[in-house]
Structure formats: C-alpha cells, structure tokens
Structure 1
Amino acid sequence: MDHGIVTFLTDYGIAPTDLGRAVEERGFGSLLLTEHTHIPVSRRTPYPVGAAEPQPLPRYYSHTFDPFTALAAIAASTSRIGLGTAVSLINQHHPITLAKQVASVDRISAGRFELGVGPGWNAEEMENHGVAPARPIARMLEHLAAMRTIWTEDEPEFHGEFVDFDPIWSWPKPDRRLPVLIAGVGPRVLDRVLSHGDGWLPLPLYPIEVLRERIAELRTRAGRPVGVTLYGADPEKLADYEEAGVDRVLFELDDHEDPAGTLRQLDRLAGFVH
C-alpha cells in the first residue's frame, strides 16, 4: 500500500516547493492538493454539508493556492513523487481550458500527474461561476468526457448538454491515459468510477467491513484491479485499510499556519510508514 499526502495549500502556510521537497525527502509516494477558486461570504450552504448544526468554515478554504499552478512549481522542484488534485471542482472550469491546464502539468511533471475530481458542494461557489447547482454529477461526467476527447484526438469536437464545441486544435496532450480518480461515497459512485474513471477516491466514512465490500464489488464489476485511494486516512488503521483492499492512503495535513509545524507533522506521519 502506498502512502501520500493531501492538503489545503495556503498563501500563509508552507510554500509549495518547500512542501513538495519535504514530502519527497520523507519517502511519501504522492502529494495531492485541494481546490476552491474562492469562497462566497454567504454561508447559505452549510458546513459540513448536511450538518444539523453548521460550523464556521475554516479559514484555509478561502486561502488555497490554485492547485495546477502550485503543482507545476512542485513538479519542477521534485523528481519522484506523484502529483495530483483531491479534488478539482471541474464543474467550475471550462473543459477546454482545464484540459490544457491538466495536460500541461502532466507534461511538465513527466507524467506524474493524476486528476482527482468531484462535483463540488458549495452552491454559491458554483453559481458565481455561472454553473447551476442542479445535476452536478451529470455535468461533471460530461466535462470529463469532453476532456478525454481533447486529450486523445488531434481534432476533437464535442456536442453535449453542457459542453459544445466544433473541431479544435489543442496541445499539449498527455503521453499516456491520464489517470482520473472519481471522488465520492454515495450509492452510485462506483457506477461513475466504472464509466468515467481510472480509480476511486472515497473518504473514510464507511466501517472497514463496508469499505471492503464496496472495493470488492468495484473490482468484480470492473474485471480488473481498479485502484482505490483513501482520502484522510487514520494512520492508526493502516493494516485495516490494506486488508480491505485500499491501494493508497492520503494523510491530510492539518497545520495550515506554521511551516515548521507542517514539517513536524510530516515527520510524525512518516514514522507510521517507514
């Protein structure tokens, strides 16, 4: 089982390149970054989603670096670790633009990039991008299909419900099938992984036995060993995750203020895996 790091990389915390080098030096396999283009001042959408008693949204949500810019810088200052998003809110991007951003980071990193995606949860954030919060899953899957077309065809065109463009030229393109991780824990998330993804990116919200069952179901239906990356893993439960079939865990960093504190947390987490 591989071990990676995921974090909200902020403008007041550790610098992107410093974090990338620190993750690589401590032997972790990957570094994935979150994404929020902005946070509306309105708190109409509760946090956490569905909470009976909403809590204040943490400051770091509104201070995140653009993940693709940060990951390009990290790619240039590292050589081994995998890089990616967990997750990119792709409904808030135009797929032509996002396809080029993703392909560019993948080429800069020499094929170390993977795209973790989710539909988003903050209705006001979506609306500020001109995106209706209704039917977010259908939009996400269509955006992914359009991006795959751009990555794999010399003169791609796409005509769908949410995305429509005539033949275009757009390079660079990934040198291989770029891995897409589908985030989610709902009853139909495995359908989305099978139809549009290369791996599953769940949160640790299931009991271990349920996680084991869902992973087995995914791989049985796929007829292949689909990768599973667990976001926000508990370092005390690594043996359970591995037994359930998880391929990679992502430890979430929670010190967003003090660079020295971030390095100490990386040292502590490295002690669980080395």
Structure 2
Amino acid sequence: MHIGIFTGVTDESIGPAELGRAVEQRGFESLFVAEHSHIPVTITTEIPGGGEIPHDYHRNFDPFISLSFAAAATQHLRIGTAVALVVQRDPILLAKEIASLDRASGGRFELGAGVGWLREEMRNHGTDPRTRVALQTERLRAMDAIWSDEQAEFHGDHVDFDPLYSWPKPIGRPRPPIWLGGWGPTTHERILDHADGWLAPVGIPVDELRRGVDELQALAREEGKGPVPVIATVFDPTRAELGRLAEAGIHRTLLGIVPVRPHDATLVELDRLAELSGGLAD
C-alpha cells in the first residue's frame, strides 16, 4: 500500500513548494490537494456531514498551480487532485493544463475527478447540478480524445467540438490515471467505463469501505476485467486502522491534514504521520 498526504493549500498555510518538499522528505509517496473555485456567500445546499463550510474552503489555491510548485520542488513525489471539479472547468483547457503539468512533472500527475456537491458553486459556472454526472462523463471522454488523438473531436449532448490539434500529450499513455470520486448509484459502473480506479469517499469506516471494494471488484469480474485499484482517505487513523486498509488491498491511503494548518504546525503533523505510518508503505 502506498501512503500519501491529502490537504489543502491556502494563503494562510505552508506554501505549495515547501509542502511538496516536506512530504517527499518524510518518505510519503504522493500529495493530493482539494479544489473549490469559490464559495458563494449564500447557499442552501446541505453540507456533507453537516455543520458549517470550513474556513479553508474559501481560500484554496487553484490545485494545478499548487501541484506545479510542488512538482518543481520534488523529484519523485506523485501529485494529484482530490478532487478536481471537472464539471466546473472547460474540458479543452483542462486537458491542456493536465497534459502540461504531466509533461512538466515527468509523468507524475494523477487526476482525481468529482462532480462536486455545492450546487450554488456549480451554477455560477453555468453547470446544471441535475446533469452534472452526465456532463463529467462527457468531459472526461472528450479529454481522453484530446490526449490520445492527433486530430481530436467529440460530439455529445453536453460537449461538442470538431477536429482540433492540442499538444502536449501526456507522458502516461493513454492518459494520466483517472480516479473517480464519490459513491453513488452509478459510480462503480462509471469507473469501469471511463476511469482507472476509485477514489473512495473520505473518512468512511474500514468495514464500509471493504463492502464498497467488494462490490466494485465483483462488478469488474462480471465484466471480465481485472482488479480495480482503490484510494482511501482517512483522518487521524490509528496504526491498526492503516494495517487493516493494507490487508484490504487498498492501493493508496491518503492521510488527511484537515483543517489546513499554518507552516510550523503542518511540519509537526507531517512528522507525526510519518512516524505513525512508518514501515506500512510499499
């Protein structure tokens, strides 16, 4: 099992370059960061888990800028989004950003993609929350075409463009790994259709995660496909819990640092998490 770090980068946190260096120096395999483009002042959407929207959500850096700095400051660290809000981004521009970052980092980028939950945020981007799953599916497929084809075109209900040229192409072929986030009625089917693995919901109990993994792998077998890799994200786990995740065959566990901490506190927490997870990672 690989072990990485999940956190946010804000104007009040440690900077993304130093964060990347600190994560790599402590032996973690990867760094994944979150995304919110903005937080509307007035919302009626229910927050997952209840409560108030965390302070950090208002202040996130753009994830691709953060990961560019982290990649430039490191040599081997895998970098990714958890999650990028694909339904709030133009697919032609997003394909260009991802391919550029993947090339510049030496093929270290991984895309965690999610449809999001904050309906007011989506609407400000011109996205209808009712069609966001179908929209994400088409945008991911359209980006696949851009990354794979010399003359890419796509014609769907939500994304439509005639043949175009777009470079660079990603180093990873046929694309950077795509991890589909969430756990809804069609998540596992969509993973098998147009993604490479499952980015399971954050903080779910190990037994519940095992159930989801079992359901996903059973569906993969029905479709004649091999095992599907899974990423788990946990907050303040015990060493025993990490061991159970490894036994469950989880590909990567992300240790969450949430809420985002200031510079010195982040380094202290990274030291603690490195000691906690020592010897468990592949």
Name the TM tier (shorter chain).
Answer: over 0.9
Q: Does 1:60 align with 2:94?
A: no
State whether residues 3 and 28 of structure 1, in contact with CA within 8 Å, keep that contact through their aligned partners in structure 2: yes
Tell me the equivalent position of 2:258: 254
Q: How does the TM-score come out when normalised to structure 2?
A: 0.91
**Number of residue-to-residue matches in the alignment:** 270
1:207 shift after superposition: 4.3
State whether residues 56 and 259 of structure 2, in contact with CA within 8 Å, keep that contact through their aligned partners in structure 1: no
Aligned equivalents of 1:252, 1:73: Cα separation in 2: 20
1:214 shift after superposition: 2.7
Q: 1:255 to 1:262 in 2, by over 3 A?
A: farther
Q: How does the TM-score come out when normalised to structure 1?
A: 0.94
State whether residues 4 and 254 of structure 2, in contact with CA within 8 Å, keep that contact through their aligned partners in structure 1: yes
Aligned equivalents of 2:55, 2:87: Cα separation in 1: 23
Query: Counterpart amino acid of 1:153?
Result: D
Tell me the equivalent position of 1:201: 199
Select 1:91's aligned residue among 84, 87, 93: 87
Q: 1:242 to 1:60 in 2, by over 3 A?
A: same
State whether residues 34 and 81 of structure 2, in contact with CA within 8 Å, keep that contact through their aligned partners in structure 1: yes
State whether residues 180 and 199 of structure 2, in contact with CA within 8 Å, keep that contact through their aligned partners in structure 1: yes
Cα displacement string for residues 151-188 of structure 1 (whole angstroms, at most 9, x for unaligned residues): 00000011101101000111011122310000012232
Q: Does 1:227 align with 2:229?
A: yes
1:257 shift after superposition: 4.0
State the SS of the aligned residue for 2:130: coil
Deviates more, 1:251-260 or 1:140-149: 251-260
State the SS of the aligned residue for 1:186: coil
Aligned equivalents of 2:122, 2:273: Cα separation in 1: 34
1:211 shift after superposition: 2.4
Cα displacement string for residues 81-119 of structure 1 (whole angstroms, at most 9, x for unaligned residues): 100100000000010000000111100110000000000
State the SS of the aligned residue for 2:152: coil
1:255 shift after superposition: 4.8
Aligned equivalents of 1:26, 1:178: Cα separation in 2: 25
Aligned equivalents of 1:22, 1:205: Cα separation in 2: 24
Tell me the equivalent position of 1:128: 124
Q: 1:207 to 1:16 in 2, by over 3 A?
A: closer
1:48 shift after superposition: 2.7
Gaps of 5+ in 1: none
Q: 1:139 to 1:78 in 2, by over 3 A?
A: same
Tell me the equivalent position of 2:180: 182
Q: Does 1:30 align with 2:30?
A: yes
Runs of 4+ residues over 4 Å off in structure 1 = 204-207
Aligned equivalents of 1:125, 1:210: Cα separation in 2: 30
1:137 shift after superposition: 0.9
State whether residues 235 and 257 of structure 2, in contact with CA within 8 Å, keep that contact through their aligned partners in structure 1: no
Aligned equivalents of 2:190, 2:25: Cα separation in 1: 35
Aligned equivalents of 1:86, 1:186: Cα separation in 2: 17
Query: Counterpart amino acid of 2:155?
Result: H
Aligned equivalents of 2:258, 2:272: Cα separation in 1: 13
State whether residues 236 and 256 of structure 2, in contact with CA within 8 Å, keep that contact through their aligned partners in structure 1: no
Q: Does 1:107 align with 2:103?
A: yes
Select 1:151's aligned residue among 119, 143, 147: 147
Aligned equivalents of 1:23, 1:206: Cα separation in 2: 24
Query: Counterpart amino acid of 2:127?
Result: V
Select 1:271's aligned residue among 270, 275, 278: 275
Gaps of 5+ in 2: none
State whether residues 184 and 203 of structure 1, in contact with CA within 8 Å, keep that contact through their aligned partners in structure 2: yes
State whether residues 255 and 262 of structure 1, in contact with CA within 8 Å, keep that contact through their aligned partners in structure 2: no
Name the % identity: 47
Aligned equivalents of 2:68, 2:227: Cα separation in 1: 29
Tell me the equivalent position of 1:5: 5
Instruction: Compute the RMSD of aligned alpha carbons.
Output: 1.5
Aligned equivalents of 1:215, 1:20: Cα separation in 2: 30
State the SS of the aligned residue for 1:98: helix
